[in-house]
Structure 1
Amino acid sequence: MNGPLHPRPLVALLDGRDCTVEMPILKDVATVAFCDAQSTQEIHEKVLNEAVGALMYHTITLTREDLEKFKALRIIVRIGSGFDNIDIKSAGDLGIAVCNVPAASVEETADSTLCHILNLYRRATWLHQALREGTRVQSVEQIREVASGAARIRGETLGIIGLGRVGQAVALRAKAFGFNVLFYDPYLSDGVERALGLQRVSTLQDLLFHSDCVSLHCGLNEHNHHLINDFTVKQASIEMREEAAREIRRAITGRIPDSLKNCVNKDHLTAATHWASMDPAVVHPELNGAAYRYPPGVVGVAPTGIPAAVEGIVPSAMSLSHGLPPVAHPPHAPSPGQTVKPEADRDHASDQL
């Protein structure tokens, strides 16, 4: 005689409503609910009390206070490579495992980075804007004027800070366009530069000194916060020339402090922010007009690429959750062997909560 049927575990997509990717992957092992929340205050009590697994993108933040609201949570899967929006130390203290998808959107992010760099060299956005504003080019002088700032790529040097997955993908693409590529990454083992045909430098100052364009591909943390600052730019300017700031044509907002305005003119610094490491509104006023940026997260978007990235980790992560030690949540959390009485809406494959 068969034993009692146990309800399928509840897995919640916290900050989204489209479960078309997750459903085919989890339909046989879990009930999937979508919350479409921007904070835990918007998450249904049922999810906070019963969800054993949570999927999340970058548009919601989980602090210790937020994590303590979940009474049965065993595992969090961050759909993407970064996990800045999760207090992983507190998650560990509470017995919640945190996974990410390091390979997610590597190609898309690298492609978008090259789009930014090519745009800055060939001025496509500025030319398009001029055309929309009614500019008509009829003479050689007008061509030169409207294309002011455009530069030839071949022979230029691209400096990459952080040669991880995306950094390597950018380097290979840049070489195909004619860039000389050098990189700075103190954490990378020796020999990678030989395998990829790149040049390695030992200091950030060396990279800034020799680069015509700089692209940052290091996860934002306490070690590289404000990595590009007034001191590094001033030092490079002294060693190179007064307009060294023009060499830094691309940077990520979270690594550039407000004090940078003291050493460069806004005409000499162009920032292309491509990820939501910080609120887009914090782009320094000095950069307005000289900067262009995409909406956060756009560079990594490719709907056809998301299923593969999610499929690579979600099933194993959910299976892993059954073998994790007891959850160290505050009192009232269900015991590891306690089952929750199934409810009518559990029969549905996907619910909004």
Structure 2
Amino acid sequence: MSDLKVAVIGVGKMGAFHVDSLTRRTRGAQVVAVNDFSPERAAEIAGPIGARVVADPFEAIGAADVDAVVLASPGFAHEKQVLACLERGIPVLCEKPLTMDGPTSYEVVRAEAETGRSLIQVGFMRRFDTEYAGLRSLIESGDLGAPLMLHCTHRNPEVPDSFTSEMAMADSVVHEADCTRFLLGEEVVAVTVLKGTPTSSAPAGVSDPMLVLFETESGRLVTVESFVRTGVAYEVRTELVAERGQATIGLDQNLQVKQAGRWGGTISPDFVVRFGAAYDTQMQRWVDAAAQGTIDGAGSWDGYAAAAICEAGVEAVRSGRRTEVKLEARP
């Protein structure tokens, strides 16, 4: 079979990583078209791999030689671009968010349902991380009994001053929202946010760190520490508390050195280093599925559910009150 011909829309840090993954580490794929709001950036990425630069993202999506699309464009552009992929009937791997809010994400879900096909995959890459996959398998095995709680930590070394408390919910905690659903296999029904003493590096009015509490439909509890200005490194951990034991992933137990009366190691500096292998696995599985006209990963409903959870979370940040997650009926 010939290689899957892919257009990549948006080649910032994430999009450029995807181009590199498709070109160097993924079998059966070829990037044929690149689009970005910066033509210079698009040319910089497209030139070395022999892809063409397409100024209009919709022209790239509609190109006759494009079999599938990777969307790494800004979130506000996703809705129309995803719908254009649906109109063409080609698979799309869309970085989160699916769209900027719950209602528009639900409209995308409905539009896909009308096609009768699964064409939209949302880039929740932790589902492809070996530790997260292993923890899910452990839960499903029942070896530790029923899961009762999850305790999650999500820390970044730094973010721009423009990164607000609401953005921390929509851009960082969204991953814990999806992981909660992935690991426990049920929906989140309510979100509460506690805002304590902020770090001195947080701008005025920004709550960092925050403690987020998810409640699931069966009554399980999930805590999320969101701290995006640690000044240390990128740390993502999850502890499962079950009836007959506990399990923890994300301990960064890499190379440790003991020398001259000291011991130490390294922590991942950013999300690409921590989850690089998961991104590559996600890409290979998506390419294999897209070649068959479908997807293999989080779908549009997962993107919608995460958006609805984050909307409730943003409201909880602003109001300081427990906020229910409202999901429409699944088409």
Q: Same fold (TM over 0.5)?
A: no
* TM-score between the two structures when normalised by the length of structure 2: 0.32
**Which one has the largest radius of gyration?**
1
- The structure that is strand-richer by fraction is 2
